[in-house]
Structure 1
């Protein structure tokens, strides 16, 4: 029993040590996954915290222990941008590529689907539509 408990605590300590080393080796530009499952790019590493860029221009501070995994560049691009790593040229791949037209590259250099940007700024038309909808809702409530 004591031997089994010793082996279990030793294994847990090794895992904690490896996780601590991984977090201490984080550098700006590395792709990470938080313990909550959010993917981001490291912008700045401090003693206790990490500044992450969640998307273009959106930054957030996280505690270092909130970083679950530091990802390789290929893995980060595959998960976040849908970019598959470069494959060696084989005959099947060449035939498939000849049958379909090559999609245009987007702003990030990836091929395929383009990221859709949503404009969150209010315009005069939007404010008018919201006020009209609110007026309509209040008139139906009073009936």
Structure 2
């Protein structure tokens, strides 16, 4: 009986460790696996290296995913995917640059028009 009681603190410590460390890790791993299994073409993803892209193709048999990163197609293992956003709301960087250029050109035209008005009024 004393033998069993002497191991009770170790058993209690193991139980505490299980509920505080092992069980949350298992839940987190299960959640990530579900996220990867639900991934489909068109979803936006971020890799563990910080690369943003849109899923082009998923192969569960070879455990790979092909990402479209602004026209560049890259193949990654499923384990390299950090997060998945359903619906692929990643904005193309080229579109952002074109919009910024359009705004800059319009501001430039306004500045030129103002300068020409000022020079005409001083003549």
Q: TM-score range by the shorter chain?
A: 0.5 to 0.7
1:53 to 2:40 alignment: no
SS of corresponding position for 1:113? helix
Per-residue deviation, residues 70-111 of structure 1 (Å, max 9, x unmatched): 02448x43xx558xxxxxxxxxxxxxxxxxxxxxxx858x99
Per-residue deviation, residues 93-140 of structure 1 (Å, max 9, x unmatched): xxxxxxxxxxxxx858x99425xxxxxxxxxxxxxxxxxxxxxxxxxx
Q: Which has the higher contact order (CA 8 A, sep 6+)?
A: 2
Aligned residues: 86
Runs of 5+ consecutive residues of structure 1 not aligned to the other structure:
83-105, 115-143
Per-residue deviation, residues 19-46 of structure 1 (Å, max 9, x unmatched): 0000010000000000111000000000
Separation in structure 2 between the aligned mates of residue 38 and residue 107 of structure 1, nearest angstrom: 18
Separation in structure 1 between the aligned mates of residue 81 and residue 25 of structure 2, nearest angstrom: 18
Change (3 A) 1:68 1:16: same
Off by >4 Å, runs of 4+ in structure 1: none
Query: Aligned-residue CA RMSD in angstroms?
Result: 2.6
Separation in structure 2 between the aligned mates of residue 54 and residue 32 of structure 1, nearest angstrom: 10
Separation in structure 2 between the aligned mates of residue 71 and residue 111 of structure 1, nearest angstrom: 25
Runs of 5+ consecutive residues of structure 2 not aligned to the other structure:
1-12, 102-123
User: Aligned runs of 1:106-117 on 2, under 5 Å?
Assistant: 112-113=99-100
TM-score, normalising length: structure 2: 0.60
TM-score, normalising length: structure 1: 0.52
User: Aligned runs of 1:18-37 on 2, under 5 Å?
Assistant: 18-37=31-50
